Amino acid sequence: MQVYKHKTALLIDDSYIDNLINQKILQSDNYAENIKVIDYPKIAIQFVKESIISGKNTPDVIFLDLRMPEMNGFEFLKALESIPELKPDQIKIYVLSSSLDPSDLRKIKANKLVAKFIGKPLTRQMLCDI
């Protein structure tokens, strides 16, 4: 019987390759029993909202990219804040991005929903450190 660190992890990134690599890393580390990959933040926000309301498959952890079309990571976080059923600390959110823009880093640090910034690429060592 495998032991997982989390029940459900959600990857939100518009890059197919990044999602594929990150999913494999999470799987090889037994990080989560269920790994959901969504490449459109608008779909991800709907998934999270529905899972919180239904109490089913709510992600314990989200790995969120910043630079995505239609809705960026900061817009996703703002939409997440507007879900009244979301309890503080219900979901750990890690921004997983290649951005080194000081403005982005300040916004990430100031956002109460974000647990930590992780620079791409994700590695097994990074998972051990969080």
Structure confidence by residue, pLDDT tens digits, 3-40: 999 999 999 999 999 999 999 999 999 999 999 999 99
Tokens found for residue 74:
């900061």
For residue 67, being part of any structural domain is answered with yes
For residue 88, being part of any structural domain is answered with yes
CATH number at residue 11: 3.40.50.2300
Q: Which residues form the domain of 93?
A: 6-129
Structure confidence by residue, pLDDT tens digits, 37-77: 999 999 999 999 999 999 999 999 999 999 999 999 999 99
For residue 102, being part of any structural domain is answered with yes
Total structural domains within the chain: 1
For residue 44, being part of any structural domain is answered with yes
Please give the C-alpha separations between residue 107 and each of 22, 56, 73, in angstroms, as whole numbers: 24, 30, 11
For residue 94, being part of any structural domain is answered with yes
**In the chain, how long is the greatest CA-to-CA distance?**
44
